[in-house]
Amino acid sequence: MGSSFYQLEPQGQCSGSVQVPGDKSISHRAVMLASLAEGVCLIDGFLPSTDCEATLAAFKSMGVQMEALSPTKIRIHGVGLKGLKSPQGELNMGNSGTAMRLMSGILAGQEFSSTLVGDESLTARPMKRIQIPLQDMGANLALSNQGTPPLRVQPSNGLHSIDYQLPVASAQVKSCVLLAGLYAQGRTCVEENVRSRDHTERMLQAFSYPIEIEDNRVCLSGGKQLTAINIDVPGDISSAAFFIVGALLSKTTELVIKNVGVNPTRDGVIEILRRMGANIEISNGKTFGAEPVADLVVKSSELKGIEIPQHLIAKSIDEFPILFIAAACAQGTTRLNGAQELRVKESDRIHNMVIGLQKLGIDVDEKPDGLIIRGGKIKGGEVDSGGDHRIAMAFAMASLVSAEMMIVRNTDNVVTSFPGFVDSASQLGLRFK
């Protein structure tokens, strides 16, 4: 368990102007595709978090040359789809489910053996969901008896394409199958019932890889090539979400968050908050490579409880810890159903948020696939993040409206997605001691 903690004085502010770090999902994918491309790629706005650094280290150990020009600017010399070398030792993916699931798709198509490992939290996460389609493609993939990491990949007799219907919308599983499809004979297709985030598809297109997208179905044929490009990584909307809610809860504030990715498969958090009465404006829209980017202007707002629509769950799956804080401070009742996926994230996010909110004096019921939150007054006190970076940051923002001092235990993992969180939050007016 982590030893670090946050101590926050109540009734701070969250106003001014801020730029959040680069998008984690896009940073992972940029490193992966740049490494497999023909030519040299410059990534600007890379997220220098422990998760994304783990992806960099994995490709370095497979023979990809890269130079860090600054913590957020990296030059990668692509080796082509067939150019990776056998790594020395295990590939440690740290806390990152994204890195492990996407990497397994790439490694399934290699002619060498590899083993993917991770930290305690990642080692408990379900990996059967990628093992099943990869084995259907002919990959040779072994997990623990519990269906969890370590994940061992042996060379196979070559991959063949599949037409895969995802049981649950998941960008990680979809991306894993598509990346394996780069190495497969024939045309690989993935179909979802609800469209999950589409960063992989957008980036494949940006790297000039032929890909067909129709509604919730994506297809590509193996054996083509990725052509190097330069990538600007937009700010991460999942990191911005903490400050968006902070500004909504603060008294008479305005906050501007610059250059945030507003990909339509990721903007569920904005739509949910607007339905709750949030004043959020999107301005200065532009495009970074294949990704839409804008500035967000947020003004303090009176929020009201809502029933969270099913179609927005996949578009906001990582933002629920901070959405639960918004719901706790809203007038009336907020209900969420159909979000059992939250139980297998970096922690059981339904259970850990329920326990924390109850400690802060909020009336909340835990359901197998969601919760019911009755808005009220946050009294302050001590909560535990369960080692989950997003829960730690969510409870830190609750100090803005707490009656007393807040202590958030177990905050080590915040560096996996938002290095510099305390500095950015302090500059906006949160009162860390």
* String of DSSP letters for 87-116: -SS-EE-TT-HHHHHHHHHHHTTSSS-EEE
- Token pair of 22 as six digits: 């680069």
Q: Which helix (H) or strand (E) holds 39?
A: strand 38-44
Strands 406-409 and 5-9: antiparallel
Residue 396 phi/psi, 5-degree rounding, is -60, -40
Q: State the catalytic residue, choosing from 232, 295, 318, 384.
A: 318
Strand partners, 291: 288
Spatial neighbors of 364 by CB under 8 A, at least 6 apart, are 328, 354, 357, 358, 371, 372, 373, 374
Strands of the sheet containing 73-79, edge to edge, are: 65-70, 73-79, 38-44, 231-232
Dihedral sign, Cα of residue 104, residue 110, residue 111, residue 112: negative
Least Cα distance to 106 among 94, 93, 119, 95 occurs for 93
Is 412 known to be catalytic?
no
CA–CA gap between residue 316 and residue 262 (Å, rounded): 12
Longest dimension (CA), the chain: 63
- Report CA 61 to chain centroid distance, whole Å: 24
CA–CA gap between residue 315 and residue 312 (Å, rounded): 5
In order of 2, 220, 246, the CA distances from 8 in angstroms are 18, 50, 14
Please identify every residue annotated as catalytic: 318
